Structure 1
C-alpha cells in the first residue's frame, strides 16, 4: 500500500474522522464539498485498504473507578513462557495494552486497576511467567 492510494479529499476526510469520529457522513461532506453518500464510499474504500482500522473514544478511567494506572515491564523466565503469557495478557481485563519490546525486558504492559490490591493481585499472577518492573503513572502530559 502506498500513500498514492488516497487523494487530498480522502486525507481531509481521514483528518476529520481523527479529530471527531462521531461526525456524520453528511457533516463531513459539507466540509469537503461532497455528498454524504460519496463520503461513505470513500470511508469504505479506506477501510478496505486498511487505512482506517477502527474507531475509538476518549474516556476518563477515574470516573469508573480505575484509579491505578501502571506501566509494567515483563521479564519472562523461559522461551516457552511467551505464548502462555500472551494469552494471559490478552484475556486479562485490566491489561489495556501489551507490546513485545526489544532492549530491557520482553514485554511492556499498560494496566488499569481499581486499587493497589487489584494491582498486587495482577502482579502475583505475572510471577507465573517471570519477573516484572512497575512504574506508576503520576499524570499524563500529552
Structure 2
C-alpha cells in the first residue's frame, strides 16, 4: 500500500525522472537516504514500472500518429496480438469493449508508411477480419502520466 509520501515521490518522478535524490528528499521532507530507500522499494514492488526518456517523434521520423480499430477472430487472436505487440511502430494495443476487438496506437513517418504497415503487417494476420484507421491532425495532449490521488488510507 502506498502512503502519501510514496505518492508524492511517484508524482515528482513521473514529471521529472531526472530529479536528484536531494530534490526528491526535500520535496517530501525526508533524508536523502530515506528517499532513496523509498524509491528503491517503489521500483522493486512495481509501483515505478520503469525509467525512460520521452522522445520527440518529429526527431525520429515518426511524425504521423494514427489509431486503428481492429476486429479479430477468436481463432488466431493470441498470435495476432503477439505479432502486433512485437512491432516498434505499435505504441499501444488495447483490448476494448464495443463493436471492435482492439484499439492500436501507431507512430510512423507518414501515410505511405501507415498504408504499408496496414497492408504488410496487420491485414495479412489470419485473425484480422477488419480495420478502421483514424489519423490525427494535431495532438493537443499526449502523456503517459497517471493521475495520482492522495490516497484514502493515509
Which gives a bigger RCO, structure 1 or 2 (Cα 8 Å, sep 6+)? Answer: 2
More helix by share: 1
Whether 2:54 is the aligned partner of 1:55: answer no
Structure 2 unmatched ranges of 5 or more: 142-154
Q: Which moved more, 1:132-141 or 1:12-21?
A: 12-21
1:88 aligned residue: 83
**In structure 2, the residue corresponding to 1:80 is in which secondary structure?**
coil
Question: Pairwise CA RMSD of aligned residues?
Answer: 1.6
1:141 aligned residue: 140
Deviation at 1:140, TM superposition (A): 1.4
| Length, aligned pairs only | 137
Kept after mapping to 1: 8 A contact 2:66/2:135: yes
- Which of 78, 102, 105 is residue 100 of structure 2 equivalent to? 105
Kept after mapping to 1: 8 A contact 2:92/2:104: yes
Kept after mapping to 1: 8 A contact 2:66/2:107: yes
| Separation (CA, whole Å) in 2 of partners of 1:8 and 1:97 | 30
Whether 2:13 is the aligned partner of 1:14: answer no
**In structure 2, the residue corresponding to 1:52 is in which secondary structure?**
coil
TM-score calculated relative to the size of structure 2:
0.80
Structure 1 unmatched ranges of 5 or more: none
